[in-house]
């Protein structure tokens, strides 16, 4: 598809959802769906950041609330993340993609944190696009963590006042706002993802379960984005009467 000439979102968010149902539909365990989802994510993220013009991709792979799941499922996911970060770091490095993480480190285990730190370090000088893994991420936690740091810096005179630009600097990363937010699997909710950053995002909710959300489906999503009229509270008076 000729997407180069169209308006492309700078920052895309994907709420990776439907892995479990994808597996259950095939009579398999949920872990089978997580594995398929993680393989799809690796391919799709490289496509998005190297071929479409999107500069930043934030992917929601584990929420603070996902610790409510069984120990078996959480352990499987943590093992999968560790393995993928270890295996895929070379590919991301070669493709000039920088990996960052958003989320709380506590209570992630040492072996997970270690592979996260390694992939961040290995790709830190890459300039071809940013892949932001939101892992043990919660929009509420992010706002609370930022608020605590801001309180500290205000008390100590590091900052004198607070506005939206200053607040953004205290988030896990000071990224531009999310332009386009995709949630797969036919669920129509945000589930605590990027509450600050998604304030003016365009939303898109394909029915597809994440393991089947491929490049072609992403291109369709982008096409839909290009048809949206983003207003940010204003009116384009060249197109409309007062
Ligand atoms: C998304 O798939 C992956 C994570 C939340 C870790 P789910 O595991 O939520 O899959 P469904 O929604 O149960 O199908
Ligand atoms: C949101 O999906 C979290 C991630 C995709 C990582 P969930 O499947 O956990 O969300 P709910 O529980 O359906 O809202
Ligand atoms: Mg789900």
**pLDDT beyond 50 at 161:** yes
Length of the chain: 242
Q: For residue 77, give the ligand 1 atom closest to its CA.
A: 6
For residue range 166-193, list pLDDT tens digits in order: 999 999 999 999 999 999 999 999 999 9
Point out the ligand 1 atom lying closest to the alpha carbon of residue 16. Answer: 1
Q: Which ligand 1 atom minimizes the distance to the CA of 18?
A: 14
Element housing 101 (H / E): strand 98-102
Ligand 1 is surrounded, with C-beta below 6 A, by 16-21, 62, 66, 77, 185
pTM, rounded to two decimals: 0.96
66 is catalytic: yes
Question: What is the distance in A from the centroid of ligand 3 to the CA of 140?
Answer: 19
Confidence check: pLDDT of 134 > 70 = yes
Residue 4 has what pLDDT? 45
Residue 101 and residue 116 in contact, taking contact as beta carbons nearer than 8 Å? yes
Provide mean pLDDT across the span 113-131.
Answer: 98
pLDDT tens digits along 12-59: 999 999 999 999 999 999 999 999 999 999 999 999 999 999 999 999
Cα 39 to middle of ligand 3, angstroms? 17
Q: Which two tokens stand for residue 38?
A: 């993680």
pLDDT at 241 over 90: no
Distance from the CA of 50 to the center of ligand 2, in angstroms?
27
Beta strand pairing call for 202-204 and 98-102: unpaired
Burial of 182 (0-12, 13-18, 19+ CB in 10 A): buried
Q: For the packed helices 110-123 and 71-94, what is the interaxial angle rounded to 10 degrees?
A: 20
Residue range 223-240, pLDDT digits in tens: 999 999 999 999 888 877
Among the bound ligands, name the one nearest to the CA of residue 73.
1
Is 179 among the catalytic positions? no
């Amino acid at each position: 598809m000729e997407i180069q000439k169209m308006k492309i979102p700078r920052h895309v968010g994907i709420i990776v959802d439907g892995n479990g149902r994808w597996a259950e539909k095939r009579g398999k365990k949920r872990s089978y769906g997580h594995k398929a989802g993680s393989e799809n994510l690796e391919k799709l993220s490289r496509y998005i950041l190297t071929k479409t013009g999107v500069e930043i991709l934030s992917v929601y792979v584990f929420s603070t609330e996902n610790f409510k799941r069984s120990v078996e499922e959480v352990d499987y996911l943590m093992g999968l993340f560790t393995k993928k970060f270890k295996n895929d770091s070379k590919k991301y490095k070669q493709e000039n993609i920088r990996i960052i993480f958003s989320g709380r480190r506590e209570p992630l285990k040492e072996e997970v944190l270690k592979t996260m730190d390694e992939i961040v370090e290995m790709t830190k000088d890459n300039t071809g696009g940013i892949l932001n893994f939101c892992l043990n991420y919660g929009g509420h936690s992010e706002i609370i963590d930022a608020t605590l740091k801001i309180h500290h810096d205000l008390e100590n005179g590091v900052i004198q006042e607070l506005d939206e630009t200053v607040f953004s600097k205290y988030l896990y990363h000071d990224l531009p706002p999310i332009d386009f937010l995709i949630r797969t699997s036919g669920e129509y909710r945000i589930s605590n993802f990027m509450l600050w950053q998604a304030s003016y995002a365009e939303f898109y909710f394909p029915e597809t379960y994440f393991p089947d959300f491929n490049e072609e489906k992403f291109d369709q999503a982008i096409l839909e984005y290009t048809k949206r009229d983003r207003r940010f509270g204003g009116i384009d008076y060249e197109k409309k009467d007062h």
